[in-house]
Amino acid sequence: MYLAIQGVMDIESWKSQLRKGAAELAVLALLAKGDRSGTGLLDELALRPDVGLSDGSIYPLLSRMEREGRIAGEWHTPEDGGRGQKRYRLTPEGAAALRHMRAAWMRFQSDLSLVLGDPT
């Protein structure tokens, strides 16, 4: 859907940028609740469409986060010999990053709410 704000911008493009900016925080927060596969992360984020990510964005993000040491992935193969999947877990470095990112997000959200005039 295309929605222009006074002919200047596409709101969907702006929302996409918000999602990109919050993607790592969302993934770290979900992994703090327990190990998940990339598909599991996508499924859970799909329940929150304003946060959701696509196949094309989640796997490059997971690869980068793994290279940076914030998450660790391990292949799991089912006993029935079916298709395996890589499951990700939060590392101590990822848990520390999550704490810092969460605090920064809370400060940002609070300040932006004041700027917008939202009562919080």
- Over range 93-120, report the average pLDDT: 91
CB 50 within 8 A of CB 99: no
Does pLDDT of 85 surpass 60? yes
**pLDDT category of residue 84 using cuts at 50, 70 and 90:** confident
Does pLDDT of 2 surpass 70? no
CB 97 within 8 A of CB 28: yes
pTM of the model: 0.83
List of domains in the chain = 8-116 (1.10.10.10)
pLDDT tens string 47-77:
988 887 888 889 999 999 999 999 999 998 8
Indicate the SS3 state at residue 34.
Answer: coil
CB atoms within 10 A of CB 38: 20
Short-list 72, 79, 17, 19, CA closest to 48: 19
The CA angle 28-33-38, to the nearest 5 degrees, is 60
